[in-house]
Homo-oligomer: A and B are copies of this chain.
């Protein structure tokens, strides 16, 4: 659908915008900026993502700590072609409705298996000035406990983003050369603090106090230009990471757990990867308990080792009351984990809905739903697949 990328209508007063599903989120925000409309669409997954893809995966991004995910209320309505050929529009343009269950939500995260999204009406948010600040910690546990205290304080809602970059990722950023002086290679938090200038000052005083209390020896604002570069580099974590090892390819994966479980998950995962000899960076939307591991490999043997490590990571997350994927989706590679995570009854409910809407299994067959015959991830023999490999 990527060629259907038109913006159809902008309602500035109501704070909404209609577009075709091939439009990209950066294109939408660039258009609003060019037209001097002080609104933006806050879902910010990886660069280049289209609205249709964002609906299909139920995406989120760095802004999720403040604005939630695609599963919240950012899609007021969508136009969908059903497998029957019928074209429907899920809802009106009102900001909220109690007129039955919201069929929009059926298609968010369905990975194209229930319908083809052609148009969407997006809710927009006011642009708010931001400043980027950085704090460095002795370890992930200290960083996460600082984030929890900040988010539960009255200043929590002023944090637009809280990103964890582990020591390896900081090393990658230093090597990418976007900062004048390299940062100490330590577990680091990037904050994006939002508000009018006075409000940012108040919030950053509190953030500094709390990060110090939790063992940070460094809290500083980035200069505006450096902040843009740093954030850009965070968004392009994949390319920065790949540059760490010559001729490397990268397996990216993500999981999400209750935030209190994140330190244990990151600690055990880093130990596991060190033991397996895998070079990897970790970036995390730490306010949500979501993290991405970017694991590098250069040959088939390393790929096999990475594959096994991903399997252990997913099981670790599920055992900690988490999910096999926070943002990336299921696709082919994570189908086997759905029963472990959700239970057979919930998976069968998903299949029931799929069969009712697409009885001939026309739309994206083989994706998302585990076959009833498929062994669950806990017991299956590892098979090597490149499907989850993103370069």
Contacts and interface: CB of A to CB of B under 8 A. Distances in A.
29 contacts: A13-B260, A38-B152, A58-B97, A71-B73, A82-B349, A86-B345, A90-B342, A92-B321, A92-B341, A93-B321, A95-B289, A96-B290, A97-B325, A98-B323, A98-B327, A98-B328, A99-B338, A99-B341, A99-B342, A100-B342, A101-B110, A101-B353, A102-B109, A103-B346, A126-B152, A129-B154, A154-B195, A199-B199, A356-B356
Contacts of A107: 101
Interface in A338-373: 338, 341-343, 345-346, 348-350, 352-353, 355-357, 368-369
A41 to B, nearest CB: 14
Query: What is the copy number of this chain in the assembly?
Result: 2
Nearest to A71: B102
Given A355-B356, A356-B355, A93 B14 contact: no
A97 B260 CA distance: 16
Interface string A109-128: 11100100000000000111
**Interface SS of chain A: helix, strand, loop or mixed?**
loop
Contacts of A214: none
Contact of A325 (B99, B152, B348): B99
Given A71-B96, A88-B345, 11 more contacts: A58-B102, A71-B102, A82-B349, A92-B322, A96-B323, A96-B326, A97-B325, A98-B325, A101-B353, A126-B152, A353-B353
Interface string A4-22: 0000000101111000000
The interface size bin for chain A is 35 or more
A339 to B, nearest CB: 11
Interface string A230-246: 00000000000000000
Contacts of A391: none
Interface stretch (A167-175, A251-259, A276-284, A297-305): A251-259
Nearest to A68: B73
Interface string A247-271: 0000000001111100000000000
Given A86-B345, A198-B202, A148 B95 contact: no
Interface of A: 11, 13-16, 38-39, 57-60, 64, 68-69, 71-73, 82, 86-103, 105-111, 114, 126-129, 148, 151-157, 194-196, 198-199, 202, 256-260, 288-290, 318, 321-330, 334, 337-338, 341-343, 345-346, 348-350, 352-353, 355-357, 368-369
B334 A99 contact: yes
Contact of A72 (B73, B111, B155, B288): B73
Contacts of A337: 99
Contacts of A199: 154, 199, 202
Contacts of A108: 101-102, 105
A111 B68 CA distance: 25
Contacts of A86: 345, 348
A328 B155 CA distance: 33
A146 to B, nearest CB: 13
Given A58-B101, A101-B110, A153-B126, A69 B96 contact: yes
B126 A342 contact: no
A334 B99 CA distance: 8
Q: Choose among A127, A155, A349 the residue with the greatest number of B CB atoms under 10 Å from its CB.
A: A349
A94 B152 contact: no
B101 A106 contact: yes
B109 A101 contact: yes
A92 B261 CA distance: 13
Given A13-B148, A126-B154, A350 B101 contact: yes
